Structure formats: C-alpha cells, structure tokens
Amino acid sequence: MAEPAPDGLILCAELPPGVLEALVASVGVRLVAVGPGAPIPGSWFGEPEAGLIGDGLYVRPDTPVHSALHELCHFCCMDGERRARLHTDAGGDYAEETAVCYLQILLGEGLPGFGRERAFHDMDAWGYSFRLGSAKAWFEQDAEDARDWLLREGLVDAQGRPTLQLRS
C-alpha cells in the first residue's frame, strides 16, 4: 500500500484490490497502471493526476482517487466525436464540467473504500471551487443543472443513479 498523501487525499493504491478496475471496465475504459514515479501519459494537471488517452485511464499508485474518477467521468460525459480523438484534454463546456463533477460524486459513492463523503472531502482538499464554498453544499443545494444534464444525456436514471453509459 502507498503512503497516505500529505494532504490526506485517498490514493488509488489505498482502494481495495480490483474495485477501480471493475468500475472503469464497466464503462468500457481500460485502466492503465503506471509504475511509481513514472510519467503519467495524458495527465492534464501533471503527476500524480490521472491521464486520458483514447479509452485508457492512466494512474499511478499515488494518483488521488478523485482524479481518476474525474477523468473517468470526463470520458463518460464527452460526446463520441471528442472521445474518438481524446488525448489529454477532455475539453467540454461549463455545463459538461459541472456534470462531470456531479457524476464523479455519484461514482465515488459506490466505490468501496471511498464513498460520497470522502469524494466531497477530497474534492475540497484538492481545490475544486464551488460557489457555495464546498463540494457537499454545491451537490446538495445547487447542482440541479448538473443532474438535469446527466439525466438528459442518459448518464443517470430518473432516480439519479448512474447508468454507466457513455454520452453519444
């Protein structure tokens, strides 16, 4: 197991074996493990943040779980045209980015060894910025637009549960 991150973020190496791989595979993405200290291909923010190239999600043992979830949700939320040429920059507009953050919390909730409250904590600790001051406040009081976007695109069902589908 990896040492805890200095800022207290949960790292990919701290999850129970196989849970991240199973989640990623459920949406048709390949989890590509990168060795400790090696460069992470496709990382928009740089190491140790997760990277995206094509259908590959690149992580190291010290990659924060929230980062892997965020990039996975970008893959789910982008349209097929962008997905076909994906390399590092997921792109998207403001509405899509908020949907990515919302879906990230939903997927984090179902991830053994992580959970919704941990998703809120780690998003705040990393520096996500929400106008209500925290990920939890935003999710619970101000995220209707993100939820509606996900519902309209078929990424959550009427009860707000992830469908594990990709936007077309």
The per-residue pLDDT for 131 is 86
The per-residue pLDDT for 4 is 45
Q: Which of 76, 52, 68 is nearest to 153 (CA)?
A: 76
pLDDT of 5 > 60? The answer is no
Euclidean distance between CA atoms 167 and 28, whole angstroms = 12
Per-residue pLDDT reduced to its tens digit, 9-26: 999 999 999 999 999 999
pLDDT of 53 > 50? The answer is yes
The per-residue pLDDT for 60 is 98
Rounded to 5 degrees, φ, ψ at 59 are: -140, 155
pLDDT of 68 > 50? The answer is yes
133's torsion region: left (phi>0), alpha (psi -120 to 50) or beta?
left
Q: In what helix (H) or strand (E) does residue 95 lie, and over which residues does it extend?
A: helix 94-109
Averaged pLDDT of the chain: 95
Rounded to 5 degrees, φ, ψ at 64 are: -65, 140
Per-residue pLDDT reduced to its tens digit, 33-46: 999 999 999 999 99
The per-residue pLDDT for 93 is 97
Mean pLDDT of 126-134: 91
User: What distance lies between CA 73 and its chain's CA centroid?
Assistant: 5
3-state DSSP assignment of residue 52:
strand
pLDDT of 6 > 70? The answer is no
Q: In what helix (H) or strand (E) does residue 58 lie, and over which residues does it extend?
A: strand 56-59
Per-residue pLDDT reduced to its tens digit, 82-107: 999 999 999 999 999 999 999 999 99
CB 58 within 8 A of CB 85: no
CB 40 within 8 A of CB 63: yes
The per-residue pLDDT for 7 is 72
User: What distance lies between CA 83 and its chain's CA centroid?
Assistant: 15
Rg of the chain in Å (alpha carbons): 15
pLDDT of 155 > 80? The answer is yes
The per-residue pLDDT for 2 is 42
